[in-house]
Structure 1
Amino acid sequence: MALRDCVERWFFSPTCSGCGWPGAWWCSECQRSLVRVADCHPRCVRCDGLAPKPSAVCADCVDWPAALIAARALFLYRGPVRAALHRAKYRGERRRMEELASELGRASPEILAPWRSDLTCVVPIPLHPLRRRERGFNQSAILAKAVAGQLDIPLHDQLQRTRDTASQVGRTRSQRWANVAGAFVWSGSPLHGTVLLIDDTITTGATVAAGTTALVRAGASAVVVLAFARATEQF
């Protein structure tokens, strides 16, 4: 563990991940304002987006790879959740990211119940090495470690980002898809069965779709995605 991570672990006092108030990782007000995706209805059964009826495959995921059979997230990406991820990622607060990962890990057995028996391994969406060194950690890897531990299935981190793609923030749907197309490659042993792919946030699905393509080429028969947050203007 890097020296700065050790220092942060021992001396970083909890502050609210939403508003920054000291004393706890969530203050009572921010805790009450968290919106779980599972509480939003109706949703697309494939991507968790808003749909005309619960059984529909919506326009948001109709162009996803066929092997990407489902995507789920814990919270809506707004308010305190958005602030929490920004604090963790862009201020380099690894300790906070570990707390968010613990939340996702605890919720993962229930969220993933329909596919749990089929999952063969957990794989995080990678950062490019340059971005990883700059941030100090890969947030998706921290989430994946917590989920893999909770589900008691192997964690494999051999998915690699082959180029330093620009940030997806502020880009249109088509720009997001073009930005990450072909950006991932698998460097490990052949995969099999259903792989659980972990990202911090799902927006259009461009990143996880590109990751899915690489995993299928490596042998995965299907991919399920789990994220901490779901960003959508529909909710």
Structure 2
Amino acid sequence: MWLEGGAREAVHALKYAGLARVADDLAAAMSSMVLPGGEGAMLVPVPLGPRRLRQRGYNQSARLAQALGRRWHRPVAELLVRVRDTATQTALTPAARRANVAGAFEVRNEKCGMRSPPMQNSALRNPHSALVLVDDVFTTGATLAEAARVLECAGVTAVLAVTFGRAVLPDFS
């Protein structure tokens, strides 16, 4: 869905107005989609940096993943951690977005929440399970590509993604 009109307002309410319950409405709109990765898929929300998480009080992608997990009857695993805060990407060019998120994610250890070496996390060791990254908006794909790269470097063989909307990229010319 293109992020225009009511869809844009809903995402802004989720992200910036503190209306976490909007995640359920977005998930309802998405629930008719075919679940990427099939029945064995596990949902993985894209993490926020510590500063933005403190400001918002919740991670909108995690709320969306949890709402989708309930509708699709799939587990949600917070396998990634954002190891540094990144600049907001709304006014960045595609190249600047890629540079902004480069190295921003690492794999989280399931037992203690610390970053772990590859293949230590049991969710990463299951070759029959696709991991589906969940984010609210796809603009250039830089964030999802970096998160997928980290999971693939950790040994995951199938990383897919789902987002509520597709943003229109501003004209940078």
For normalisation by structure 1, the TM-score amounts to 0.61
Aligned pairs, how many? 155
Could you list the per-position Cα deviations for residues 40-60 of structure 1 after superposition, in whole angstroms to 9, with x for gaps in the alignment? xxxxxxxxxxxxxxxxxxxxx
Whether 2:17 is the aligned partner of 1:86: answer no
Q: Which residue number in structure 1 is paired with residue 144 of structure 2?
A: 208
Taking only aligned residues, the RMSD between alpha carbons, in angstroms, comes to: 2.0
Q: Which residue number in structure 2 is paired with residue 224 of structure 1?
A: 160
Distance 1:91 1:184, change over 3 A: same
Name which one, 1 or 2, has greater alpha-carbon Rg: 1
Q: Which residue number in structure 2 is paired with residue 159 of structure 1?
A: 80
Q: Which residue number in structure 1 is paired with residue 133 of structure 2?
A: 197
Aligned partner of residue 143 in structure 1, secondary structure: helix
Could you list the per-position Cα deviations for residues 85-140 of structure 1 after superposition, in whole angstroms to 9, with x for gaps in the alignment? 2233222222xxx23x2234335453224632341x11100001221011111100
Could you list the per-position Cα deviations for residues 129-170 of structure 1 after superposition, in whole angstroms to 9, with x for gaps in the alignment? 221011111100000001111121211113100110000011
Aligned partner of residue 150 in structure 1, secondary structure: helix
Long gaps (5+) in structure 1: 1-74
Distance 1:92 1:108, change over 3 A: closer
Question: Among residues 16, 20, 24, which one is paired with 1:102 in the alignment?
Answer: 24
Whether 2:41 is the aligned partner of 1:115: answer no
Q: Which residue number in structure 1 is paired with residue 115 of structure 2?
A: none
Return structure 1 stretches of 4+ with deviation > 6 angstroms.
none
For normalisation by structure 2, the TM-score amounts to 0.81
Q: Contact 1:125–1:198 (CA<8 Å) still a contact in 2?
A: yes
The CA distance in 2 between the partners of 1:148 and 1:87, in whole Å, is 21
Whether 2:101 is the aligned partner of 1:180: answer yes
Aligned partner of residue 201 in structure 1, secondary structure: strand
Aligned partner of residue 163 in structure 2, secondary structure: strand
Q: Which residue number in structure 2 is paired with residue 148 of structure 1?
A: 69
Distance 1:112 1:104, change over 3 A: farther
The CA distance in 2 between the partners of 1:110 and 1:93, in whole Å, is 23
Aligned partner of residue 61 in structure 2, secondary structure: helix
The AA in structure 1 aligned to 2:14 is A
Q: Which residue number in structure 1 is paired with residue 51 of structure 2?
A: 130
Describe how 1:42-81 pairs up with structure 2 within 5 A.
Answer: 75-81=1-7
Long gaps (5+) in structure 2: 110-120
Aligned partner of residue 14 in structure 2, secondary structure: helix
Q: Contact 2:35–2:72 (CA<8 Å) still a contact in 1?
A: no
